[in-house]
Amino acid sequence: MIEFREVSKTYPDGTRAVEDFSLVIPARRITVLVGSSGSGKTTLMRMINRMVDPSSGTVEIDGRDISKIEPVRLRRGIGYVMQNSGLLPHRTVAENIATVPRLSGVSRADARKRALAMMDTVGLVRTLADRYPSQLSGGQQQRVGVARGLAIDPNILLMDEPFSAVDPIVRAELQQEVLRLQKELAKTIVFVSHDIDEAFLLGDEVVVLEQGGRIVQQGAPEQILAEPANDFVATFIGADRGKRRLTISDAASRGDDRVLVDAGGYPVGVIAAPGGRLAVGHPSPKSRSISNKTDQAGDA
């Protein structure tokens, strides 16, 4: 569990990036901080591994005030995946993944073994192990970044817009990969995004932020979608544009499935309607991730 207590951050140039921010981030779930550019997401995330120290307030991990923990030690225990991979260009894929284990004193041979295993975990073929980052595609680089973040088996994984620089099809693939990994590993993941669709897809908990790190709404995606707290959220999630308001089309249908269209008349999916009745259910996150796979690829 990560807890922000009345945290503020003013940068030396006077920018008030975060003001009086309090939040509890639950363990072993994915919490997405979502907001437009400049809303303080990166600043908040970097306070968790002390890449940024708050001007006031405290950040606690499992009840421990992290300002008492030496930054280098703290960082070696927290995985961090950044937007443009941040891989070391002069080191191979395997060496990059093994960086933190090596820093922590794991032998070269063991670190390589672990790196190769991590490559399997994130879906990278082992033949890439001795390539350099510059020889990989953007999507492969991000997978290496994720593997590196997970290499020491951290409890906490920080992901700062990790997929925003890759093309939409690869992004959808990587998002599914995160859901799959999370099912296996159950980490405390803090994920930063400016993309509300990504937040709804990945987040167990979604925190919508305004400028200054002000929390406008927080809750499960279903809750936020059902009851946007105000106009800002409604606009942000696209509810006002009719993107989220779906209607059952009477035109095309196959068997008991009915086609859904949005307010603009665009088909967005099908809904099961056995015997003409709509089925009400509570799909678990598992089924959500599976059923979304095709949707996301289609969106791209």
HEC per residue, the chain = CEEEEEEEEECCCCCEEEEEEEEEECCCCEEEEEECCCCCHHHHHHHHCCCCCCCEEEEEECCEEHHHCCHHHHHHCEEEECCCCCCCCCCCHHHHHCHHHHHCCCCHHHHHHHHHHHHHHCCCCHHHCCCCHHHCCHHHHHHHHHHHHHCCCCCEEEEECCCCCCCHHHHHHHHHHHHHHHHHHCCEEEEEECCHHHHHHHCCEEEEEEHHHEEEEEECHHHHHHCCCCHHHHHHHCCCCCCCCEEEEEEEEECCEEEEEECCCCEEEEEECHHHCCCCCCCCHHHHHHHHHHHHHHHC
Q: How far is the CB of 18 from ligand ADP (least distance, A)?
A: 7
Q: How far is the CB of 3 from other proteins (least distance, A)?
A: 21
Q: Which stretch binds ligand ADP (CB under 6 A): 33-41, 79-87, 131-139, 248-256?
A: 33-41
Q: Calculate ∠ Cα 201-249-239, nearest 5°.
A: 40
Give the integer Cα–Cα distance in Å for 69 and 20.
Answer: 22
Angstrom CA distances, 20 to 3, 4, 43, 84, stand at 13, 9, 13, 30
Binds other proteins (CB under 8 A): choice among 5, 29, 76, 244? 76
* Residues that contact ligand ADP, how many (by CB under 6 A): 12
* Residues that contact Mg ion, how many (by CB under 5 A): 1
Q: Which stretch binds other proteins (CB under 8 A): 2-10, 90-98, 206-214, 275-283?
A: 90-98
Q: How far is the CB of 127 from Mg ion (least distance, A)?
A: 34
Residue closer to Mg ion, measured from CB, 36 or 235: 36
Binds other proteins (CB under 8 A): choice among 28, 90, 108, 241? 90
Q: Which two tokens stand for residue 121?
A: 């975990």
Q: What does 73 interact with, of other proteins, Mg ion, ligand ADP, none (CB < 5 to 8 A by kind)?
A: other proteins
Site membership for other proteins, residue 49 (CB under 8 A): yes
Q: How far is the CB of 142 from ligand ADP (least distance, A)?
A: 18
Give the integer Cα–Cα distance in Å for 206 and 225.
Answer: 11
Instruction: State which of positions 37-56 bind Mg ion (CB under 5 A).
Output: 42
Site membership for ligand ADP, residue 38 (CB under 6 A): yes
Site membership for other proteins, residue 284 (CB under 8 A): no
Q: How far is the CB of 29 from other proteins (least distance, A)?
A: 22
Q: Which two tokens stand for residue 205?
A: 């908990």
Residue closer to other proteins, measured from CB, 90 or 241: 90
Instruction: State which of positions 4-23 bind ligand ADP (CB under 6 A).
Output: 11, 13, 15, 17
Q: What does 11 interact with, of other proteins, Mg ion, ligand ADP, none (CB < 5 to 8 A by kind)?
A: ligand ADP
Site membership for other proteins, residue 108 (CB under 8 A): no
Site membership for ligand ADP, residue 54 (CB under 6 A): no
Q: Contact positions toward ligand ADP, by CB under 6 A?
A: 11, 13, 15, 17, 35, 37-43
Q: Contact positions toward Mg ion, by CB under 5 A?
A: 42
Q: Contact positions toward other proteins, by CB under 8 A?
A: 46, 49, 51, 72-77, 80, 82, 84-92, 99-100, 103, 132-135, 138, 148, 165
